[in-house]
Structure 1
Amino acid sequence: MRVRRLAAWTALPLAVTLGLAACGSGGDGGSGESDPNAAVRIEIAEPQHLVPTNTNETSGSQVLAALFSPLVDYDEAHKPYEVAAESITSEDNTTWTIKLKDGYTFHNGEDVTADSYIDAWNYGAYAPNGQNSSYFFEKIAGYDDLQGESPKAETLSGLKKVDDQTFAVTLSQPYSEFKAMLGYTAFYPLPEAAFSAPGELAEGFEQAPIGQGPFKMKGTWQHDAKVEVERYDAFPGERPKVAGVEFRIYQQLTAAYADVLSDNLDVIKTIPTENLSTAETDLGDRFLQSPASSLHFLAFPTFQEEFSNPDVRKAISMAIDRDEITTSIFKDSQQPARSFVSPAVAGYRENTVGAPGEFDPAKAKALYQAAGGPSKITLSYNGDGGHKDWIDATCNQLKANLGVDCVGNAEPKFADLLTKVKAKQPVGLFRMGWIMDYPSMENYLGPLYSTNGSSNYYGYSNPDFDRLLAEGASAPSEEEAIKKYQEAEDLLAEDLPVVPLRFGQNNFGHSTKVQNVEMDLFDRIDLIKIEAVK
């Protein structure tokens, strides 16, 4: 689901060429004099978590991007470059040496050391800790010994401290894209103060996380209201141009949009669907667009008998007119999706879903009846994400084209929906959005569809898929890896555990009080570039 990761809001579409520039003046919204002593206000949904190894949705990740500095970030070609790391090297793609830059300290004054990463990663990988992003440590040697109710070990054998600023990571098998993974939230460090005992998170840490990034917490997480951060003056990297950020939590995007129009909110990360047709008029050059990496889909609870037959799933897919919904609801501001990976990454192919991705109501109904599909379908979604219109339109299509009863079920918050689907509570089909964690085809496949994937909430499991994914990960070159990943994607088309619907693009806006507002492929506002205007 940076992000990255699972997306709470309905995001908007990705230009296939990734050449789309921001509208207007590139986000300037004017040429006012910058005010470095002012704070800015940015809209988010209620995060599910604020512990790095437990945060796999976009709102929490936006907050953590303020509090932490990653080992690597990505250039315009989506290649990783060192940020908090001085160097990341390997001669065999199996053993990697990570040397840290000098000068980084946590917000409580502790030095950032190799132990800061080793302790955080061990905590995230240890199964009894129940971290959402534990899966991302799977490639490190010793991970299997940390799994189960009574693990054999408490620490990863593949993590070894070399000195205070250097540690070595040994993988269980070669993985050429390991450096690219290290930009993901799960790989942030934690201070000693995060733990009350070795491997035990301190009570209250999540309410006021201590990072080593450009901002530090100001007070504590005010649930369903806000998270505030302020500039960390000891940060050794590029300094922010604002004194702080208020991440303001909204239950409804329409309320956030009204606040932007009245200058009571500075940035809305997603324009509500009902305001798309007027946003350019309302905001002028403060209505912005940029490429995204998001994929939006409906997921099947394949562990439930009524959705266990792939033919039922294929029939539902064929009964949905993606193009019509893209036009009528999203005003052609999204791109219909018929593939399982985004055009943002190497290896993307058009229409990998095949025939089930094509709208064919007659064939859909016949297949559905022959497969014994249920007479009632529920589409669950988070009510705080601007999804009602397209969910209702999808339900209307399923009613008309399959002859079923279909109802939309709004969970109050995205965190609520995630909690229910993780617990496999009966919610029917459920909407999901994925934003890449790191630029790789594998990232659209492994977390979502592998048997132990961190965001595989639908119970999908195919040993051949897992095998191909592993073979791709250990391939000696990107080209060879992509061939294996594409074979794995072909299996998804046969099994169809989810229905790809749309590729997204960032459609966002800002008030007259800020300038230089940019949003990246990972659904994050750039907190270093944004400026407040005097």
Structure 2
Amino acid sequence: MKPTRSTALAASAALTLALAVTACGPTEPAKPKKSSGKPGGAYSVALTEPDHLLPGRTTSSYSLQVLQGIFDTPATLDPEDGSVRPLAAVSWASDDNIVWTIKFRSGTTFHNGEKVTAASFADAWNAAAYGPNGWDANYYFAQIKGYEALNPAEEGATPSARTLAGLKVLDETTLRVTLKAPFGQFPMLLSFPAFAPLPRAATADPDAFDIAPIGNGPYRLDGRWERNQKIKLKKFSAYRGTRKPMADRIDFKIYTSRETAFTELQAGNVDILTTVPAANSTQAERLFGERFSIRPSGTMDYLGLPVKDPRFADPRIRRALSMAIDREGITRAIYNGVYKPATSLVGDMIPGHRPDACGRTCAYDPAAAKQLLEAAGGFDGPLELHFSNADPTYEQWMTSVANQLKDNLGIKDVKFRKMAPADLSSLLNDGRNKGPFRQNWVIDYPSIQNYLDGLYYPGNRSGWSDKEFDALVAQGNAAQGAEAVAAYQRAEDIALRELPYIPLWNWQDQSAWSDRIGNVVIDSYAAGLHLDRVTVDE
């Protein structure tokens, strides 16, 4: 979630697409700067306020960046090619892609000295999967046998179980996982932070744990999360995992906007900004040179529509809104031409991406848009647009969209609902919004499926569902290679026809850092900045 993967949403556990992650092509980690390689010292990272720091409670990329240092998940994705590697686990195996046996590293502890065991993982997954807990990453566990018993479909129904039937602790370091259906790339899913282990304190008092998490990773929290100010980490001296932490300390400095963070980077008040504003790309390249990185991204922005609201129930209304938006003009004016206008639901870097999947629906055609709106009966205002205050460009592009809807469709009464990211996430997840909203998706792994399940999970923010769409996603999940891609593409066609989410643009990731640090490795996957690798060259 990311920011909404960034500001994210619930996501999915159903990847069976047998495309190698190495097929993601142009994505490359930022080129590391030559460094002394000496351990020690401290550095700072600019960050937007997270929503939670309990792994199963969040899918926000702001949170995930911090959690990446605090927790070791069973698996990790290599920053060079995205291939899956063991981390807290030492191995996994399955004869049928349904029953998986995971062996975990022995001799490791949480930051409070409690031993990390197979039960630490099982307990964490059960807590996230238990519906009444209301944890955001719940649906990541939907592939595991027994998930439905913890999440009954009937509204108000009581779960018939508190633990997943598909989890069995065989011994202190071995966990057997039984899935509902074959899922060949289950190990890739194990890299997501929700699959990290939790100590007993996490489930005993989740709220207290949220502001002072206790992990098993190379860094531990130094004090408590100071809301809207900072999060401090320090090296965990008893760490026995595979990620050797180089710096002694990391300070996450929380900013309300990327522009402010960029100014602070220029002034030397923060060392790393992984989200340089697109409008500052030319300036950043001039100022930072080899310490500026731009990479193709799987991150997408959408305009989400509450389809259960009668005013948005007709797909023609939704398509009219899409055709009234000048994506090319907005990305040029606000994002310096760095972001790419969307012609698909998925990022350009994703295997199986089709450059014009959206067709006329994503093409700017104000005359046709107005005709379509009138044919559908018009729109009764007010139109409320919801977005976060995490970045000034969100309000800028929402203002442009509002003006275009006024000018092109005659919708005169447009109101803004701007709020903190965590507040917006809560509002949208509860379905309390009364109009369109900024929806963002940051990939967990490079697959069309990750977008489809990530955006259109059961109970998603738009409120949209479609049986044919679900069947095609399931068909893709059960298939291999080109057959899987073809099924996912047909599902994408349905989502683009119905348009509960209007694709807007495909991000490019831009980062910059100070000259006092080195070995900066930033990938385009969930890990982002590899905190453990950064060296301090003072």
TM-score > 0.5, shorter chain as reference: yes
* Bigger Cα displacement from structure 2, 389-398 vs 153-162: 389-398
Whether the 8 Å CA contact 1:395–1:406 is kept in 2: the answer is no
The residue identity in structure 2 corresponding to 1:213 is G
Residue ranges of structure 2 left out of the alignment (5+ in a row): 9-22
* Bigger Cα displacement from structure 2, 282-291 vs 123-132: 282-291
The residue identity in structure 2 corresponding to 1:100 is F
How far apart, in 2, do the equivalents of 1:195 and 1:132 lie?
15
* Aligned match for 2:365, one of 354, 360, 382: 360
1:60 equivalent in structure 2: 63
2:486 equivalent in structure 1: 483
1:385 equivalent in structure 2: 391
The C-alpha deviation readout for 1:103-159, integer Å capped at 9, x for no partner, is 322111122111011100011111111111111111111111111441101110000
1:189 equivalent in structure 2: 197
1:369 equivalent in structure 2: 374
1:13 equivalent in structure 2: none
User: Following superposition of structure 1 onto structure 2, how do residues 433-472 of structure 1 map, counting pairs within 5 Å?
Assistant: 433-452=440-459, 456-472=460-476
How far apart, in 2, do the equivalents of 1:90 and 1:22 lie?
31
Whether the 8 Å CA contact 1:117–1:189 is kept in 2: the answer is yes
Secondary structure, aligned partner of 1:6: coil
Number of matched residues? 515
2:411 equivalent in structure 1: 404
Q: CA deviation at 1:89?
A: 1.3
* Bigger Cα displacement from structure 2, 329-338 vs 284-293: 284-293
* Aligned match for 1:299, one of 297, 304, 315: 304
Whether the 8 Å CA contact 1:290–1:519 is kept in 2: the answer is no
- Assess, with a 3 A threshold, how the Cα gap between structure 1 residues 174 and 22 changes in structure 2: closer, same or farther: closer
1:420 equivalent in structure 2: 427
How far apart, in 1, do the equivalents of 2:3 and 2:236 lie?
23
Whether the 8 Å CA contact 2:99–2:178 is kept in 1: the answer is yes
Secondary structure, aligned partner of 2:533: coil
Whether the 8 Å CA contact 2:144–2:164 is kept in 1: the answer is yes
* Bigger Cα displacement from structure 2, 75-84 vs 312-321: 75-84
* Aligned match for 1:315, one of 304, 320, 340: 320
- Assess, with a 3 A threshold, how the Cα gap between structure 1 residues 406 and 343 changes in structure 2: closer, same or farther: farther
User: Following superposition of structure 1 onto structure 2, how do residues 146-165 of structure 1 map, counting pairs within 5 Å?
Assistant: 146-148=150-152, 149-165=157-173
The C-alpha deviation readout for 1:40-85, integer Å capped at 9, x for no partner, is 1111111111111111111111111010112112233433121221
How far apart, in 2, do the equivalents of 1:410 and 1:281 lie?
36
How far apart, in 1, do the equivalents of 2:334 and 2:259 lie?
15
- Assess, with a 3 A threshold, how the Cα gap between structure 1 residues 4 and 94 changes in structure 2: closer, same or farther: farther
How far apart, in 2, do the equivalents of 1:248 and 1:33 lie?
25
- Assess, with a 3 A threshold, how the Cα gap between structure 1 residues 370 and 4 changes in structure 2: closer, same or farther: closer
Q: CA deviation at 1:375?
A: 4.4
Whether the 8 Å CA contact 1:381–1:408 is kept in 2: the answer is no
Deviation >6 Å, runs of 4+? none
Whether the 8 Å CA contact 2:27–2:349 is kept in 1: the answer is no
How far apart, in 1, do the equivalents of 2:98 and 2:288 lie?
50
Given the alignment of the two structures, is residue 324 of structure 1 paired with residue 329 of structure 2, yes or no?
yes
The residue identity in structure 1 corresponding to 2:476 is G
Q: Among the aligned pairs, what percent are the same residue?
A: 36
How far apart, in 2, do the equivalents of 1:532 and 1:141 lie?
46
How far apart, in 2, do the equivalents of 1:440 and 1:21 lie?
17
Q: CA deviation at 1:509?
A: 1.4
How far apart, in 2, do the equivalents of 1:144 and 1:22 lie?
39
* Aligned match for 1:80, one of 72, 77, 84: 84
Whether the 8 Å CA contact 1:336–1:503 is kept in 2: the answer is yes
Given the alignment of the two structures, is residue 526 of structure 1 paired with residue 530 of structure 2, yes or no?
yes
How far apart, in 1, do the equivalents of 2:173 and 2:481 lie?
30
* Aligned match for 2:225, one of 195, 198, 221: 221
Given the alignment of the two structures, is residue 473 of structure 1 paired with residue 447 of structure 2, yes or no?
no
Given the alignment of the two structures, is residue 177 of structure 1 paired with residue 180 of structure 2, yes or no?
no
How far apart, in 1, do the equivalents of 2:268 and 2:283 lie?
17
Q: CA deviation at 1:367?
A: 0.4
Secondary structure, aligned partner of 1:404: coil
Residue ranges of structure 1 left out of the alignment (5+ in a row): 9-15
- Assess, with a 3 A threshold, how the Cα gap between structure 1 residues 518 and 339 changes in structure 2: closer, same or farther: same
Whether the 8 Å CA contact 1:4–1:437 is kept in 2: the answer is no
* Aligned match for 2:505, one of 502, 507, 512: 502
The C-alpha deviation readout for 1:493-514, integer Å capped at 9, x for no partner, is 1100111111112112122322
How far apart, in 2, do the equivalents of 1:391 and 1:406 lie?
14
How far apart, in 2, do the equivalents of 1:238 and 1:134 lie?
27
Q: CA deviation at 1:409?
A: 2.1
How far apart, in 1, do the equivalents of 2:369 and 2:418 lie?
29
Whether the 8 Å CA contact 1:450–1:466 is kept in 2: the answer is no
How far apart, in 1, do the equivalents of 2:337 and 2:83 lie?
30
How far apart, in 1, do the equivalents of 2:29 and 2:131 lie?
42
Whether the 8 Å CA contact 1:450–1:460 is kept in 2: the answer is no
The C-alpha deviation readout for 1:328-347, integer Å capped at 9, x for no partner, is 22112111111112233322
Whether the 8 Å CA contact 1:114–1:163 is kept in 2: the answer is yes
Q: CA deviation at 1:243?
A: 0.7
- Assess, with a 3 A threshold, how the Cα gap between structure 1 residues 366 and 376 changes in structure 2: closer, same or farther: farther
- Assess, with a 3 A threshold, how the Cα gap between structure 1 residues 82 and 478 changes in structure 2: closer, same or farther: farther
Whether the 8 Å CA contact 2:2–2:62 is kept in 1: the answer is no
The residue identity in structure 2 corresponding to 1:166 is T
How far apart, in 1, do the equivalents of 2:293 and 2:231 lie?
24
Relative to the length of structure 2, the TM-score reads 0.91
Whether the 8 Å CA contact 1:21–1:289 is kept in 2: the answer is no
How far apart, in 1, do the equivalents of 2:473 and 2:185 lie?
13
The residue identity in structure 1 corresponding to 2:223 is G
How far apart, in 2, do the equivalents of 1:331 and 1:18 lie?
24
Q: What's the C-alpha RMSD, in Å, of the aligned pairs?
A: 2.1
How far apart, in 2, do the equivalents of 1:210 and 1:360 lie?
53
1:276 equivalent in structure 2: 281
